[in-house]
Chains A and B, each alone.
Chain A
Amino acid sequence: MTQTSRPPSPPRLKTTGLPDDQPEDDHDVFMSEQPATFLSGHPILPEDMDIRDLMPSQLYEMNQNLLNESVPQKPLIDELASMSVLREEYEHGSASFLRQIDYLTKDGYDCVRRTRGDGDCFYRSVAYAFVERLLYSPDPTMAVGSALSQIESTLPMLTGARFDPFVYEDFMECFTTLIQSIVVPDREGLTLTPQSLLDAFQQPESSNSIVVYLRLLTSAQIRADPDAYAGFLHDPDNYMELQLETFCQHYVEAVGKEADHVQIAALSRALKINVKIAYLDGRDPQEVGKVDFHEFIFADDTTSSSLVLLYRPGHYDVLGRSSSRI
């Protein structure tokens, strides 16, 4: 537990310079995850904050919150969309992004399944792609059986991380029940379909429960082998090295905190999966539209295919090929 070294700066009331009528030299901002205001209608704003003092991640979070508040209906995870839809959004923007989108499309990645930008997008994307691959497996019974036994085998790691069973068991059950339903009919005699899979991931309780389970698993994996991750545990704001406990508590277990290399590697390792991430980041010095793929290879089976995600700065979606689903 971290001790406090000085009192907090108090919340203050602000009645002028709100976002709609912001004077030029006044850059106060909201600094909280709770999109709520005072009953009186006056939001609390830290008056001593200046937008130039914000960390990149705070700016990102603020933008993301504003974006989410302005588009409240955006689903947690969306229907599969053609890559051309994504391309349209960049048409008036960066040429290097457009070249990279074209590169991916030519490479066969012609569709994308978008996730809400709530900081849980990596975990949600991986979970969705993981279950979807089982659903489309040529031998679902076998695939489901081996996925469930892999998940089962991580239990000692969760207890080793000293999580109380009540902390993870309901979340874990939510994930295993969904996977099980690919082959075992539920009480109504139904097995999982692509539509019911999407429904489960759009419904906040089941979707977020699965995200939490994967966060706990990621944290347990990091805690189980600290040496493998030591030296890579950084504060995303300032790149200061963090203690393992702080890193796991604040940047893995807490919901809404974006995943980076360490979390991706740890989760891939815990689930024994291969994860391949396409970096759509506009970094294209040769102007040829090349996209870098980062691969995290942890499957025992050398023939195992990768779950493929699309990364744009601060956000992950599921990347797909329409041909592979027909």
Chain B
Amino acid sequence: MASISSRRLRKELTEITTQGCPVGIKLLNADNFETWLFSIEVLGETLYQGEVFKLMFRFDSQYPISSPAVQFVVDNEFQAPIHPHVYSNGHICASILGNEWSPVLSVSAVCVTLQSMLASCKVKERPQGNDQYVRYAPDNPKKTRFHYDGKHHRV
């Protein structure tokens, strides 16, 4: 029997391919049940008008009981959005990817949440301590012990 993880991802993928992604999100690659890539842009009048970002989801065998590792891709073509919760290496500090993750959330739901995180941004700036974080950051953002700042930091 297929694992819970691959059964669930197969269903999510079917939904994405039959019903389409949320507006502003495009599936770039989902050839396996380990890594999926999306492009993401924020529509309407926001600080990120005209910018397109690339999102990477990595799933372990515990998905969806454990959260996916989600980050913006930084390469020759793409940069991480300049946002107080996004480090320049693409790591995102968001409680729904950490201690507020629940199996009710899905890949689509995470995309929409990140879109609205960008849409509500008032000031384009990197998190405090960005350089220091990026210098020592692990490859997988799930290995970072982010400190979600209580009531002020829930996205």
Q: How many A-B residue pairs have CB under 8 A?
A: 141
Q: Are B103 and A253 in contact (CB under 8 A)?
A: yes
- Complex: chain A residue closest to B10, CB-CB: A166
A45 cross-chain contacts in B, Cβ below 8 A = 145
8 Å CB contacts to A: which residues of B94-152?
98-104, 106, 113, 116-117, 120, 125, 127-130, 132-133, 136-139, 142-149, 152
Give A218 Cβ to nearest chain B Cβ, in Å: 12
Q: Mark B63-101, 1 if CB is under 8 A from A, else 0.
A: 011100000000000000000110000000100001111
- Smallest Cβ distance from A206 to chain B, in angstroms? 9
Query: Quick one: given A10-B128, A255-B103, are A34 and B84 in contact (CB under 8 Å)?
Result: no
B65 touches A4 (CB 8 A): no
Q: Select the stretch in A35-43, A69-77, A271-279 that faces chain B.
A: A35-43
Q: Are A34's CB and B142's CB within 8 A? A: yes
CB <8 Å contact, A36 and B145: yes
B: residues with CB less than 8 A from A are: 3-4, 7-8, 11-12, 15, 62, 64-66, 84-85, 93, 98-104, 106, 113, 116-117, 120, 125, 127-130, 132-133, 136-139, 142-149, 152-155
Kindly state the separation between the CA atoms of A212 and B139 in the bound complex, as whole angstroms.
29
* A49 surroundings in chain B (CB, below 8 A): 147
Cα separation A3 to B154 with both chains bound (whole Å) = 7
Ranked nearest first, the 3 interchain pairs of A and B with the lowest CB-CB distance are A10-B129, A32-B145, A7-B84
**Cα separation A11 to B147 with both chains bound (whole Å):** 6
CA distance A36 to B65 in the complex (A): 18
**A–B complex contacts, Cβ < 8 Å, 20 sampled:** A1-B116, A8-B93, A8-B147, A9-B149, A10-B127, A11-B93, A11-B146, A13-B136, A30-B145, A38-B136, A38-B143, A44-B147, A166-B12, A208-B62, A212-B103, A250-B100, A253-B103, A254-B99, A254-B100, A256-B99
Alpha-carbon gap, A116 to B136, bound state (A): 33
Q: Is the interface of A mostly helix, strand, loop or mixed?
A: loop
Any B CB within 8 A of the CB of A209: yes
* B interface footprint on A18-34 (CB within 8 Å = 1, 0 otherwise): 00000000000011111
Interface residues of A (CB under 8 A from B): 1-13, 30-34, 36-40, 42-46, 49, 163-164, 166-167, 170-171, 174, 204-205, 208-209, 212, 215-216, 219, 249-250, 253-256
Closest-CB distance, A244 to chain B (whole angstroms): 14
Known A8-B93, A205-B3, A254-B100: A164·B106 in contact at CB below 8 Å = yes
Are A209 and B4 touching (Cβ within 8 A)? Answer: yes
Distance of A48 Cα from B138 Cα, bound (Å): 22
Residues of B contacting A4 in the complex (Cβ-Cβ under 8 angstroms): 84-85, 117, 120, 152-155
Give the docked Cα–Cα distance between A5 and B100 (Å). Answer: 18
Determine if B103 and A167 form an interchain contact, defined as CB atoms under 8 angstroms apart. yes
Let me know if A36 and B130 touch, CB within 8 A.
no
Structural contact, B102 and A8, CB atoms closer than 8 A? no
Assess whether B154 is in contact with A2, with CB atoms less than 8 Å apart.
Answer: yes
A219-B102 Cα distance, complex, nearest whole Å? 12
Is B8's CB under 8 angstroms from A170's CB?
Answer: yes
